Amino acid sequence: MWIAQISDTHVKAGNVRLFGEVDVAEHFTKLVARLEALSPKPDIVIHTGDITNDGEAADFAQAAHCLSQISVPVYIALGNHDRRETARQALGHLPGIPSKGRFSYVIDDHPVRIVMADTLVEGSSQGELGAEQLKWLDQTLAAAPDKPTFVGLHHPPFATGIGFMDRIGLRDRADFAQVISRHPQVKRVGAGHVHRPFTAQFGGTIAMICPGAAHQVVADFTPDSAEYWNADPPGFLLHHWTGEQMISIELPVESSPPRRFSGDHLTVE
Ligand SMILES: [Fe+2]
Ligand SMILES: [Fe+2]
Cα–Cα dist 155/77, whole Å: 10
Label residues 207-245 b or e (16+ Cβ within 10 Å = b): bbbbbbbbbbbbbbeeeeeeeebeebebbbbbbebeeee
The yes/no answer on whether domain 2-252 falls in CATH 2.40.30.10 is no
Beta carbons of 4 and 38 less than 8 angstroms apart: yes
Q: What is the domain partition of the chain in residue ranges? A: 2-252
Q: Which residues contact 113 (CB under 8 A, 6 or more apart)?
A: 106, 107, 144, 147, 148, 149, 150, 185
Using the mean position of ligand 1's atoms as its centre, give its distance from the Cα of residue 109 in Å: 28
One-letter-per-residue 3-state SS of 13-57:
HHHCCECCCECHHHHHHHHHHHHHHCCCCCCEEEECCCCECCCCH
C-alpha distances (whole Å) from 163 to each of 24, 49, 200, 225, 233 are: 25, 21, 17, 6, 22
What CA–CA distance (Å, rounded) separates 149 from 143? 12
Contact of 180 with 138, CB cutoff 8 Å: no
Residues with CB in 5 Å of ion ligand 2: 50, 79-80, 193
- pLDDT tens by residue, the chain, 269 residues: 999 999 999 999 998 999 999 999 999 999 999 999 999 999 999 999 999 999 999 999 999 999 999 999 999 999 999 999 999 999 999 999 999 999 999 999 999 999 999 999 999 999 999 999 999 999 999 999 999 999 999 999 999 999 999 999 999 999 999 999 999 999 999 999 999 999 999 999 999 999 999 999 999 999 898 899 999 999 999 999 999 999 999 999 999 999 988 877 778 87
Among candidate residues 103, 11, 98, 17, the one with its CA nearest the CA of residue 50: 11
Q: How many residues does the chain have?
A: 269
Q: How far is the CA of 133 from the centre of ligand 1 (A)?
A: 22
Are 239 and 188 in contact, with CB atoms under 8 Å apart? yes
Ligand nearest to the CA of 168: 2
| Torsion, Cα of 192, 195, 199, 205 (10° steps) | 0
DSSP 205: E
Distance 111 CA to ligand 1 centre (A): 29
